[in-house]
C-alpha cells in the first residue's frame, strides 16, 4: 500500500515551535482530508507529555495559560483521534523519550521501553491507534539510538499485533 506522506513544511515547522491550538489542529486535519493526506504525526517538542515528562499522563484540565502555550488534555487527544479517523487520516502520536528531563537510559533500554509501552497503552485507551518513536535531537548522540526505535517496535508487535493476529487465527479468520 502506498501512503501519501506529504506534509506542508509550514505546518510541520509551526508545530515544532509553540504548538497549534486544538482548534487549529482539528482544522489541519480537515486540510489533510481535503488534499488526501493520510498521516498526521503529533510530536511537538513543546508538549511536555511528548518529551521531558513523557512518562506522565496528559492532564484532564488545564489553566488558560497552559492552554495558550499549546498544552492539551486527555479529552483533546480523544477529539483529535476521532477527528483524524473521520478525515481518514492516521493520527500518529510520536514519543520523544530521549530528550533531557525524562530521557531514557541508553545503557539499559529495556525499562525505558516498558515505560514507552505503558505510555502507548494509556494513549490507546484515549483512541489513538498509531504510534511513533522520535530519535532526533538526542543529547550526546548515543550509538544505539536506532535500537530504541527497533526494540520499541518489537515490543509493540509482541504486545498488540501478535496477540491480535493469534486471536484472528484462533477464531478461524486467518488460516
**Kind of pairing between the strands at 39-42 and 130-133:** unpaired
133: Cα separation from own chain's centroid: 7
The rounded distance, in Å, linking the Cα atoms of 166 and 175 is: 11
Q: Catalytic annotation on 110?
A: no
**CA-to-CA distance for 31 and 34, rounded, in angstroms?**
5
Give me the catalytic one of 110, 121, 136, 137: 137
Q: Could you give the CA distance from residue 93 to residue 128 in angstroms, rounded to a whole number?
A: 7
State the CB neighbour count (10 A cutoff) for residue 102: 18
CB count in 10 Å sphere of residue 124? 15
Catalytic residues: 137
Amino acid at each position: 500500500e502506498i501512503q501519501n506522506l506529504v506534509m506542508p513544511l509550514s505546518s510541520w515547522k509551526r508545530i515544532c515551535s509553540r504548538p497549534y491550538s486544538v482548534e487549529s489542529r482539528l482544522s489541519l486535519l480537515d486540510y489533510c482530508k481535503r488534499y488526501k493526506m493520510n498521516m498526521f504525526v503529533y510530536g511537538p517538542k513543546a508538549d511536555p507529555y511528548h518529551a521531558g515528562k513523557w512518562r506522565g499522563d496528559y492532564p484532564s484540565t488545564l489553566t488558560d495559560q497552559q492552554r495558550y502555550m499549546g498544552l492539551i488534555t486527555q479529552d483533546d487527544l480523544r477529539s483529535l483521534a476521532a477527528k483524524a479517523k473521520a478525515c481518514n487520516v492516521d493520527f500518529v502520536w510520536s514519543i520523544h523519550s530521549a530528550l533531557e528531563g525524562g530521557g531514557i537510559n541508553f545503557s539499559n533500554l529495556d525499562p525505558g521501553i516498558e515505560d514507552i509501552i505503558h505510555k502507548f497503552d494509556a494513549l490507546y485507551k484515549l483512541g489513538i491507534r498509531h504510534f511513533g518513536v522520535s530519535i532526533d535531537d538526542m543529547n550526546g548522540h548515543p550509538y544505539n539510538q536506532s535500537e530504541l526505535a527497533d526494540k520499541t517496535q518489537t515490543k509493540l508487535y509482541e504486545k498488540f499485533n501478535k496477540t491480535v493476529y493469534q486471536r484472528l487465527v484462533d477464531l478461524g479468520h486467518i488460516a
